[in-house]
Structure 1
Amino acid sequence: MNPELFLADLEDKPRALEALAAFLDEGDPFAGLPARAGRLVLLGMGSSRYAAGVAAQRLRAAGVDAVAEYASAAYGTPSGPGTVAVAVSATGGSRETLDALARHAGSSFVVALTNVPGSPVTEGADLVVPMTAGEERGGVACRTFQHTLVLLLALTRRPGLPDLARRAAEAAADLLDRRGEWLEEAAALLDGPDGVYAIAPAERLSSAEQSALMVREGPRRPADACETGDWAHVDVYLTKTRDYRALLFPGSRYDGQAMEWIRERGSTVLTVGGDVPGQAASVRYRHDDDPDVALLTETLVAELVAATWWERSQRQPSRLAAPSGT
């Protein structure tokens, strides 16, 4: 893992999204699915599962019997001819996903969604869908997370998906081009002793989950994610005892409820893609009034903050280094 290469991976997001849009112009990547399926199960770990959770929610809203599962779960959706199992693995080699897939092989219709053609997850798959995200040389799943979201949206039969990918490319380019205006302030506001707390509506919960993961994975700082409405039931307590630094993705009808507590307790909130009363600052970007563009774009703020902290940490002596003379 390398912070400079991670940053380069982030800077390549607009180009990669344009390439994905061109790929989608060629047709539906899931055209090979059975015409009738009783249930759809999305399997993955980490950022793959984050994306799958949002997609499954949208599929259910469209009347599809769909669920996203931890690939590591001991109890999962039964295999069978009425089941379509979509294994999501950027590397194509996640042990847990391969184990879960073994339960469905030869029984369910198996789809492999991966960034590595010919990887183990594709073996025996009835349909292989490439992420087309390119190699992530920094060692962190960032573009593959974004491409997974776009491709899983294809399962919902969302119209105009290539155009959405292009709008997300424009949004990402805008954030990257203007980072000199907002990145230092964002990094400073979120730089507290007690970690970062990412908050997002259920429809975009993957944004909070991925943002927290980026802070943990790169600079190795504490970070957690919470759904906006649930925040008042599970995370509000921390605002009383911690230097609470929140990264809020607005759009929930419960934003006001969370912000009421946050204002009362003097916590710090950076919003992305919208403004709420009591925020310390806001990062806006092109097309941020479109919830689907937000879903595909807003994690770039946390990713760039994480890249900044990570690069700086490489220039400082390790906290684990032994004191001189010992």
Structure 2
Amino acid sequence: MKADAFARDLEQKPATLRDLADHLDREDPWGALGSRSGPVVFLGMGSSHYAASVAAARMRARGVPAVAELASSDLLPRVDDDTTVVAVSASGGSRETLDALGRIHARAAEAGARPYVVALTNVEGSALTERADLVVPMLAGVEAGGVACRSFQHTLALLLALEDRRGGEAAGGTPISGRVRAAADAAADLLAREDDWRPAVTEALIGPDGSHLAAPARRLSSAQQSALMLREGPRVAAVGCETGDWAHVDVYLTKNTDYRLLLFGGSRWLDGVREWTDPRGTTIVSVGEDLETAAVTVRYTGDDLDDVALLSETLVPELVAARMWTAQAST
């Protein structure tokens, strides 16, 4: 992994997102699925699993039977001929995901079944593509920094396109290409004003006892991915949490540590966080929502649209991670 290259990968987000939006205008990447209407099983590890978990929950909310499983699990679901298995791996070489496909195929074969397999990957001709009936390219470009940042964002966008196909209409009435273009505008806005907000966010979020990030359940992947970026690049201790669940699992550390919390906006459970953080003077960074108790607030173009936030908001902690990592590499 390379710190400077990771930063450049992030700076290219607006351009690659606009290219993806153009591609989505021209064709449906999931068109080969035809009229398939059976269950959907997502397989992946790390950020691939984060994105797939949100996608599966959104699909279930629209009446589509869908689950996201860690490919390393020994408890993979039974599948049949009607099942679509979507294996997600940016590199196309995740050994756990390849192994899971082998196990699913073997178990299905014992029952005389064969699921339809889709490879969602960023690497053409990878091992994953050789095991798939359909390949959906992420089109995120080469991530020279070795960190799955643009590919994570493109995974989410393409899974939103699958949700629209299976759900029968575009979420919120806006075509996926429009939402991706809006995310590109959001990324461009954050990058253009980075020097105005990033130093203050870094000072507030990075503390001696680590960093914590929380997001609504419908965008939990943002907290998980952001924490991963802080761990993977500058090696900062960081944990992602769901905002409502925060009061059940993370609140305890606000009492006896220098607790630093980044809140991605839009949760109906914010009162449960404020019940404890307000009286304890917890240091909070608010992204995408005004919060009077926040030490720092970051707003950006389109942050009032939930899907734009889903596709954009991780850039805030990603840029914090990238610049910290670059500074460390230069010393």
Deviates more, 1:236-245 or 1:102-111: 102-111
What is the distance in 2 between the residues matched to 1:80 and 1:191?
47
Other-structure match for 2:231: 216
- Structure 2 residues without counterparts, runs of 5 or longer: 165-169
Helix, strand or coil: the match of 2:86? Answer: strand
Other-structure match for 2:102: 102
Other-structure match for 1:164: 179
Other-structure match for 1:188: 203
Contact 2:76 2:104 in 1 (8 A): no
Deviations for 1:270-320, whole angstroms, at most 9, x for unmatched residues? 01111123111101100111010000000000000001111121233xxxx
Deviates more, 1:218-227 or 1:254-263: 254-263
Contact 2:7 2:145 in 1 (8 A): yes
Q: CA RMSD in A?
A: 1.1
Tell me whether 1:49 sits opposite 2:45 in the alignment.
no
Helix, strand or coil: the match of 1:32? Answer: helix
Cα displacement (A) at 1:103: 2.7
Other-structure match for 2:264: 249
What is the distance in 2 between the residues matched to 1:34 and 1:98?
25
Identity of aligned residues (%): 58
Q: In structure 1, which of residues 117, 122, 141 is the aligned counterpart of residue 129 of structure 2?
A: 122
Other-structure match for 1:288: 303
Deviations for 1:198-252, whole angstroms, at most 9, x for unmatched residues? 0000000000000000000000010001100100000000101111001100111
Helix, strand or coil: the match of 2:196? Answer: helix
Q: Which amino acid aligns with 2:83?
A: T
Contact 1:87 1:97 in 2 (8 A): yes
Contact 1:85 1:104 in 2 (8 A): no
Cα displacement (A) at 1:181: 0.7
Contact 1:10 1:142 in 2 (8 A): yes
Q: Which amino acid aligns with 1:301?
A: V
Q: Which amino acid aligns with 1:80?
A: D
Other-structure match for 2:39: 39
Helix, strand or coil: the match of 1:120? Answer: coil
Other-structure match for 1:72: 72
Other-structure match for 1:275: 290
Q: Which one has a larger percent helix, Structure 1 or Structure 2?
A: 2
What is the distance in 2 between the residues matched to 1:3 and 1:259?
35
Tell me whether 1:111 sits opposite 2:118 in the alignment.
yes
| Matched residue count | 316
Contact 1:80 1:104 in 2 (8 A): no
What is the distance in 2 between the residues matched to 1:146 and 1:296?
6
Other-structure match for 2:167: none
Helix, strand or coil: the match of 1:81? Answer: coil
Other-structure match for 1:84: 84
Cα displacement (A) at 1:144: 0.1
Tell me whether 1:15 sits opposite 2:15 in the alignment.
yes
Helix, strand or coil: the match of 1:86? Answer: strand
Other-structure match for 1:319: none
What is the distance in 2 between the residues matched to 1:79 and 1:314?
47
Cα displacement (A) at 1:101: 1.1
Helix, strand or coil: the match of 2:328? Answer: helix
Cα displacement (A) at 1:37: 3.4
TM-score, normalised with respect to structure 2:
0.94
Helix, strand or coil: the match of 2:262? Answer: strand
Helix, strand or coil: the match of 2:32? Answer: coil
Other-structure match for 1:145: 152
Other-structure match for 2:276: 261
Tell me whether 1:174 sits opposite 2:189 in the alignment.
yes
TM-score, normalised with respect to structure 1:
0.95
What is the distance in 1 between the residues matched to 2:304 and 2:211?
25
What is the distance in 2 between the residues matched to 1:148 and 1:286?
22
Cα displacement (A) at 1:27: 1.8
